[in-house]
A = this chain, B = another copy of it.
Amino acid sequence: MMQTNEIIWSQSEKQFARTAFDSAYEREIEAILQEVRHQAGAIAEISDLWKLHDFLSARRHDLDGKYEYHYSSLIFVFAQLVNEGWISLVELNGLSEEKQGKIAALAKTLGSTLH
């Protein structure tokens, strides 16, 4: 397994990573807000309500696990966010080429595993 906790993050990379991470988070939140407004607008009966509840439970659990900001796992987090489309590889060009390469490779592996 890749030892991402051995990767060194420069000060500028840390700042860059934080901004990229926050952008991805805001995009995903915005998408969830839109989806909830859409679902809430179409609520007609009790089953719609529990469907909304299930959706929120799943998203909350997912977000809690995904957006942990630790440098030891950040390569994996970015790979997942790239894989899910919340950030693009191009937007991570403030990181070293080595990190970008690892993220790209991991995202590709995740893509072929999950899809």
Contact = CB atoms under 8 A, between A and B. Distances in A.
Interface of A: 29, 32-33, 36-37, 40-41, 43, 45-46, 49-50, 52-53, 56-57, 60
Contacts of A49: 32-33, 36, 56
Nearest to A33: B43
> What number of copies of this chain does the assembly contain?
2
B43 A37 contact: yes
Given A36-B43, A37-B41, A40-B41, 7 more contacts: A29-B46, A33-B46, A40-B43, A50-B56, A52-B56, A53-B53, A53-B60
A26 B45 CA distance: 10
Nearest to A63: B46
Contacts of A53: 53, 56-57, 60
A82 B19 CA distance: 54
Nearest to A32: B49
A66 to B, nearest CB: 14
A52 B52 CA distance: 10
B29 A36 contact: no
